[in-house]
Structure 1
Amino acid sequence: MDELQLDLFADLPDEPATFVRIPSSALPPRAAVPPRRKVAPITVGQGALIEAPAPPPNAPVPAKRRPRRKLGFRRPTESARDLAEACAIAWHGHHGGGRMEIPVGIVATLALLPFRGDDLVALEGWILGLDDQQLWKLYEEVWALRWIQAPHLIGRCGILSQWLEQEEPDRNLRAAVRAVTERAIQYGVLELAANELPGNLDVDLMSWMVTSLRSKGAREGLGEYHTPPEVCDMIARVTIGGMDEIRPGMSFLEPASGTGGMVRSMASALRDLGHDPADMLWVMVDIDAIAVAGAAVNAILWELGGNVAVIRGDSLAEGDIGNRAIREAAEMIEHRDRLRGTAAMVAAIQRAERMLSLAKAA
């Protein structure tokens, strides 16, 4: 045990070569990232950029739609907690069953939507105006589009999207999916994801979803406990205060990350000091598959940059798991690159374009 580093932010080797040699063409160019509240363009190989426009301002709003809750001056963490609790009630109230990865996946998909714009009401109305088949298809294409952008992260999210592979979902499941979708939108998931509130990029929405849907006994069995954001923030400030130097390229390992709450606090503290978290290497490890998927989603929402590796495993049993995470992340990106120009990749791009055409035609 003396040789096993389990510090909160233990340094990985200074030069994790398999990861830092990822070609820059594999990731969206930093210079092309537009101002916040607009989605970054998605690079497909060396070709053109696929832009995701917001729905038109006259998008239909269903007549029976629930009134939208205004987040106003509520703290983002409070809004995220209320949203998660409301989604859990909607899921169980419509007899969704024990597959908590479905409601967690619904909220994750909505948060990852590539559409952004000032008129959130129009965007919400467009989504809620889709029928069950269109909504299902939209969710599929969001994951496909995000995989093209970040295969090393979306590749860890399979548990949150596998339910979409059902060819004929039953009536109860369709009703439960729509109920969670409506409740998530009502409670402001798009607003939280679109940077409408100060500091909302630091909200760990995935953690609140897991905590709200997983039973107390299951959490205890996994050794999973939700650390209050304020506690994470305090620990991060103390950790940074003890560092002699902060420089680009530093690596941070969280060996029991959950959905990334401590990484959220660390990235936020770095931003406060004028550093860009995207200049660092982040590695998150956890034993729970849903938590790992949540951490991968959060890495995209928090804009942690291209050098992020997330992996499911036991840090106590595998001392070198951080380096394995880095190697596997590089392999996922290389696999995506090998598919460029193949029938599978062309089909994925065509599906993404159909999704965008649907938005334009709404």
Structure 2
Amino acid sequence: MSDDEISLPRPATTAAAQLTAPAWAKKNPPKPKAAIHTPAKIKARKHLAPRDPHEHASKIADKVMDAWYQNFGGSSIDIPLGTIAALALLRNLPGLADWILNLQPHELPQFFKEIYLGHWIKRPDLINRAIPLHDWAWNPEPDKQQLRAVHAVTHAAINTGLMDLTGHDDPYLRSESDVLSPLLTGMRHKSDKKWRGEYHTPPCVTDLMARILVDKDIGGENKSIREPAVGSGTMLRSTAQRLRELQLNPHDYTWYGNDIDRLSAACAAVNTIIWDLGPQALIGCANSLAPEDHYAKTVAEARDAFKQRDDYMTTATTIVGYRRAFRLLDESTKETTAA
């Protein structure tokens, strides 16, 4: 922990942003009110839970892996990971799960692109970091067999209760587990994990570490929480949950997670949105042991992403304005001609 603060642009508020964002992206999650998460209420919620959230996340990962490989999805683990990440970004609106289950395989890439675009309007830096998870959806000629596997993965995840874990409006409830970590580590080949040195800390351990290290003394604004080997972000999740249990707001902190692996950093970026770590949360992708200032690089990349977003929004607003003007002119011309 250290005193630190970064200044990033706020989410877009232009008319173009409202026109572009799909319905599920327009609804902003409520700012976490830490005061409602009293120990008694947290204990009651955990008592009523149908299963341990970490076990639930692991079960979802197992079902997704079975669906992917049984449908011959191939070796590209970014595709099933990106599918689950996109679904985890949704709120569990009435009827939404059934609507998704009725989509055909060829309709899913466009659906996922709209999810990522909706969140890109709010956090372009994090969605840019998550490119390894959604780059495949932009392929103009997707592999039909992979689309069938994506379809099977979507059904497996939803039918195993993914949206029951990640679809809550309350950020405390949707932060009770990391649904991407068991899937990422499960789909990595054993030898691949060994040479990468990729061994994610179990959530029970990160929860224990957060309870030992985080107390009310770290309260106050302009504080920084950093993780140099963030993986998919499980340590950040545990810390955020501990802050909420202490009636502290994660939005009051600057968060920085870094990982050398692009896919892990992409998962951490998506999880940062799911867990609502706040507007001052950054995810980098660099070697934490290298002498370069990777934190400054991540800040610069984030600011560039927001500037690019604003430029696109300005252009979109201009285009919308021109189209409306031309439509009005066309209607006026037709009325004049008819007269």
Q: Which TM class, normalised by the smaller chain length? A: 0.7 to 0.9
Match of 1:310 in 2: 283
The whole-number CA distance in structure 2 between the counterparts of 1:312 and 1:207 is 17
Shift of 1:171: 2.5
Shift of the 232–217 alpha-carbon distance from structure 1 to 2, 3 Å rule, reads same
Alpha-carbon shift at residue 85 of structure 1 (Å): 1.1
Partner amino acid for 2:296? N
Q: CA deviation at 1:234?
A: 1.3
Give the Å deviation of 1:330: 2.1
Give the match for residue 105 of structure 2: 132
Letter in 2 for 1:100: I
1:235 to 176, 193, 209: 209
Contact 2:181 2:232 in 1 (8 A): yes
Partner of 2:150: 177
Q: Could you say what secondary structure the match of 2:214 adopts? A: helix
Match of 1:285 among 258, 262, 267: 258
Structure ID, larger Rg: 2
Output the amino acid matched with 2:273. Answer: I
Task: Give 1:215's match in structure 2, choosing from 189, 206, 209.
Answer: 189
Alignment of 1:120-159 (within 5 A): 122-159=95-132
Q: What secondary structure sits across from 1:252 in the alignment?
A: strand
How big is each residue's C-alpha offset from its partner over 1:52-85, in whole Å with a ceiling of 9 and x where there is no partner? 269xxxxxxxxxxxxxxxx961011111110011
Q: Partner letter of residue 184 of structure 1?
A: A
2:62 aligned to which of 85, 92, 102: 85
Preserved CA contact (<8 Å) 2:227 2:256: yes
CA RMSD, Structure 1 to Structure 2 (Å): 2.7
Report if aligned partners of 2:231, 2:264 keep a CA contact under 8 Å in 1. yes
The equivalent of 1:27 in structure 2 is 11
Q: Deviations over 1:84-116 (max 9, x none)?
A: 111011111111111100000000011113x54
> Compared with structure 1, are the counterparts of its residues 47 and 167 closer, same or farther at alpha carbon in structure 2 (3 Å cutoff)?
closer
CA–CA distance in structure 2, aligned partners of residues 345 and 193 of structure 1 = 36
Contact 1:292 1:312 in 2 (8 A): yes
Compared CA separation, residues 104 and 47, structure 1 to 2 (3 A) = closer
How far, CA to CA, are the matches of 2:130 and 2:296 in structure 1?
Answer: 20
Which residue is equivalent to 2:29? none
Q: Return the letter of the residue paired with 2:293.
A: D
Residues 160 and 44 of structure 1, relative CA distance in 2, 3 Å threshold = farther
Q: What is the aligned partner in structure 2 of residue 188 from structure 1?
A: 161
* Aligned-residue identity in percent: 36
C-alpha deviation, 1:331, in angstroms: 2.1
Q: Could you tell me which residue of structure 2 aligns to residue 356 of structure 1? A: none
Name the residue aligned to 1:350.
none
- Provide the rounded CA distance (Å) in 2 between the counterparts of 1:159 and 1:116: 25
Q: What amino acid sits opposite 1:222 in the alignment? A: R
Distance 1:48 1:106, change over 3 A: closer
Amino acid at match of 2:23: A
State the distance in 1 between where 2:204 and 2:103 align.
Answer: 39
For 2:224 and 2:24, the matched residues in 1 are separated by 35
Q: Does 1:203 align with 2:177?
A: yes
SS at match of 2:284: strand
Q: Cα gap change, 1:155/1:344 in structure 2, threshold over 3 Å: closer, same or farther?
A: farther
CA distance in 2, matches of 1:181, 1:342: 35
The letter of the residue matching 1:77 is: H
2:84 aligned to which of 102, 107, 110? 107
| CA gap 1:321/1:202 in 2 versus in 1, 3 angstroms | farther
CA distance in 2, matches of 1:93, 1:51: 32
Shift of 1:46: 8.8
Return the alpha-carbon distance in structure 2 between the equivalents of residues 155 and 321 of structure 1: 16
Give the corresponding residue for 1:4. Answer: none
Q: For the residues of structure 1 that align with 2:288 and 2:234, how far apart are their CA atoms?
A: 17
Q: Which residue of 1 aligns with 2:50?
A: 73
Q: Secondary structure at the match of 1:342?
A: helix
- Give the direction of change, closer, same or farther, for the CA distance of 1:298–1:44 in structure 2 (3 Å limit): farther
SS of aligned partner of 1:271: helix
Cα distance in 2 for residues equivalent to 1:178 and 1:344: 35
What residue in structure 2 maps to residue 332 of structure 1?
305
Give the Cα–Cα distance (whole angstroms) in 2 for the partners of residues 174 and 46 of structure 1: 31
TM (norm. structure 1) is: 0.75
Contact 1:340 1:346 (C-alpha < 8 Å) held by counterparts = no
Mapped partners of 2:17, 2:69: distance in 1: 45
Q: Counterpart of 1:264 in structure 2: which amino acid?
A: R
State the alpha-carbon separation in 2 of the partners of residues 161 and 330 from structure 1. 21
Distance of 2:17 and 2:149 partners within structure 1: 39
SS at match of 1:96: coil
Gaps of 5+ in 1: 1-8, 29-42, 55-70, 348-362
SS in 2 for 1:124: helix
Change (3 A) 1:127 1:48: closer
